[in-house]
Amino acid sequence: MKENILIMGLPLNTLIIVGGLFVLSMFLPTIIALILKHLEDKKNE
């Protein structure tokens, strides 16, 4: 039988899918803002 890997009692696939998407979505605005700033700085050079 396939053994589930648990981290803090949470299955690894849940941690990756739900937790990963959650953390990514939380920081995505900052990532986008930094990319836009970088593009703007590059354009102004």
12 in contact with other proteins (CB under 8 A): no
CA distances for 39 relative to 27, 30, 35, angstroms: 19, 14, 6
Dig out the tokens for 15 from the structure. 């941690």
44 interacts with other proteins by CB under 8 A: no
Identify the residue among 2, 26, 41, 45 touching other proteins (CB under 8 A): 26
- In contact, 5 and 11? CB cutoff 8 Å: yes
Residue 38 touching other proteins (CB under 8 A): no
By CB under 8 A, name the binding residues for other proteins.
Answer: 6, 8-11, 13-14, 17-18, 21-23, 25-30, 32-33, 36
